[in-house]
């Protein structure tokens, strides 16, 4: 009977040893898997950071272009305002001089004025 018990203890020791090996194997596999996951996550983070930096650069460049466009339109608007003021002054002067212009007394004077303006005589 002693022999059987000894064999049983050896088998039980062997069983615990294999159980320990299986546990250790599972532990090693899970560690390796977690390391791989961390590396993948790090690569994904780097890629996302790279894409975000590209987006930020693109937006900064577009913002600068937008500012340049706005400056250009601002200058155009100022030029147009100056021209409007100029033409308003010219129009007022024309209105004032129109009142002062005398009508031609003869048809000959009228023809001469039209010729000066570039119109050809009809007759």
CA distance 84 to 8: 110
User: What is the pLDDT, as a whole number, of residue 51?
Assistant: 96
User: What is the pLDDT, as a whole number, of residue 18?
Assistant: 92
Chunk the chain into consecutive blocks of 10 residues (it has 123) and report each block's average pLDDT, rounded to whole numbers.
61 88 96 96 96 94 92 95 90 74 80 81 71
User: What is the pLDDT, as a whole number, of residue 46?
Assistant: 96
Could you give the number of structural domains in the chain? 1
Domain that holds residue 22: 2-117
CA distance 93 to 24: 102
Q: Does any domain span residue 77? A: yes
User: What is the pLDDT, as a whole number, of residue 60?
Assistant: 92
Q: Does any domain span residue 47? A: yes
User: What is the pLDDT, as a whole number, of residue 26?
Assistant: 97
User: What is the pLDDT, as a whole number, of residue 4?
Assistant: 60
User: What is the pLDDT, as a whole number, of residue 112?
Assistant: 85
- Report angle CA 60, 65, 67 to the nearest 5 degrees: 95
* DSSP class of 123: -
pTM for this entry: 0.44
Q: Does any domain span residue 51? A: yes
Q: Are 104 and 98 a contacting pair, CB within 8 Å?
A: no
Q: Does any domain span residue 122? A: no
Q: Does any domain span residue 73? A: yes
Q: Does any domain span residue 123? A: no
CA distance 27 to 25: 5
Query: Which ranges in the chain belong to alpha helices (H)?
Result: 2-100, 107-117
Residue the block writes with tokens 């706005």? 70
């Amino acid at each position: 009977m002693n022999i059987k018990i000894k064999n049983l203890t050896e088998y039980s020791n062997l069983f615990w040893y294999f159980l320990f090996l299986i546990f250790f194997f599972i532990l090693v596999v899970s560690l390796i898997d977690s390391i791989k996951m961390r590396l993948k996550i790090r690569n994904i983070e780097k890629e996302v950071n790279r894409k975000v930096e590209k987006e930020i650069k693109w937006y900064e460049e577009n913002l600068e272009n937008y500012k340049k466009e706005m400056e250009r339109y601002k200058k155009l608007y100022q030029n147009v305002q100056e021209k409007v003021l100029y033409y308003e002054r010219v129009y007022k002067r024309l209105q004032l001089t129109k009142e002062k212009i005398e009508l031609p007394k003869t048809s000959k004077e009228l023809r001469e004025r039209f010729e000066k303006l570039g119109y050809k005589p009809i007759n």
